[in-house]
A and B are shown apart, each in its own frame.
Chain A
Amino acid sequence: MAQSAYDEIRKAGGEIVAISNDSVESLKEGADKSGVKFTLLSDPKAVVIRIYHLEHKGLNVREPEATGARPAVFFLNADHTVASVYQPEDIRYHLSAEEIIARFKQTR
């Protein structure tokens, strides 16, 4: 979903960074398979995920005991202050590429 927003965000001078509790290996595998170009960060111990209060056990089907991240999107300004936060109640919901672009443009 975010990959199709990437070019537009990039053109506008922004960056996309995604964080999950996947290992570096599985991120590499996933990036190769799906052709994702933006930065994917590996947080298997959920250190940063916990800083952002997004920890959630049982999200990873393969490792139900591992702490994963509830989906959330933080739109940061150029000085890395928070412009807006998207955090759905329903963890199955993700922002579409169009919604990411639209929200990103609002932050500019």
Chain B
Amino acid sequence: MKTALFICLLGLGLLVVAWAGAAYPLLDYPFLDEGDVPKLIVGSLGGAWALWGGIQALRLAEGKAGRLLAGFLMVLGLLGCAGLFAFMLVATKMIPPPADVKAGQAVADFSLPDQSGKTFKLSDLKGKPVVLIFTRGFW
């Protein structure tokens, strides 16, 4: 019972680490990329681990309280794992579609702060031809 609980908690710990790893870089850049795949794998392994530990704990549990605790940990692992997947799916959907830069195609609107800190939207210039220059910087 104790060993199974320990395994279960270890799995939950992995899940938490994966969650933190997935969420932290999103603070800076709100989209997922290929670099986030290992976190997804670690997260799912952690979730599966926690589930398995929960099942073992449930099997070996003695008394109502033990079964309750094991069941609770199992549900926690399941929810955490499902949540991580849902989170990844949502975050992936947040990636704006790449601009179609072929001649004749309309470009998607975007907004960024300008040199005075005001928010500029490309659509503010609707009706005007625009020369959109991407540069390395240092004006």
Can you name the residue of chain A whose Cβ is closest to the Cβ of B28?
Answer: A45
Q: List 22 A-B contacts (CB under 8 A).
A: A9-B131, A13-B128, A15-B128, A15-B131, A17-B125, A18-B134, A21-B137, A22-B139, A27-B139, A28-B115, A28-B117, A30-B137, A40-B114, A71-B133, A74-B101, A74-B132, A75-B132, A76-B131, A78-B126, A82-B103, A82-B104, A104-B129
Contact among A26, A60, A81, A104 with B104 in the assembled complex (CB-CB below 8 Å): A81
B: which residues have CB within 8 A of A? 28-31, 96-108, 110, 112-117, 120, 122-123, 125-139
Q: A42-B114, A78-B128 are in contact. Are A30 and B138 (CB under 8 A)?
A: yes
CB <8 Å contact, A47 and B129: no
CB <8 Å contact, A73 and B131: yes
CB <8 Å contact, B112 and A83: no
Can you name the residue of chain B whose Cβ is closest to the Cβ of A34?
Answer: B139
CA distance A34 to B115 in the complex (A): 13
Contacts of B127 in A (CB 8 A): 78-79
Interface of A, secondary structure class, is mixed
Contacts of B132 in A (CB 8 A): 17, 19, 73-76
Number of inter-chain CB pairs below 8 Å: 188
Q: A15-B128, A53-B98, A107-B129 are in contact. Are A70 and B134 (CB under 8 A)?
A: yes
Among B99, B130, B131: residue with most chain A CB under 10 A: B131
CA distance A2 to B134 in the complex (A): 11
Contacts of B139 in A (CB 8 A): 18, 20, 22, 27, 30-31, 33-34, 36, 40
CB <8 Å contact, A51 and B108: yes
CA distance A108 to B128 in the complex (A): 11
CB <8 Å contact, A41 and B29: no
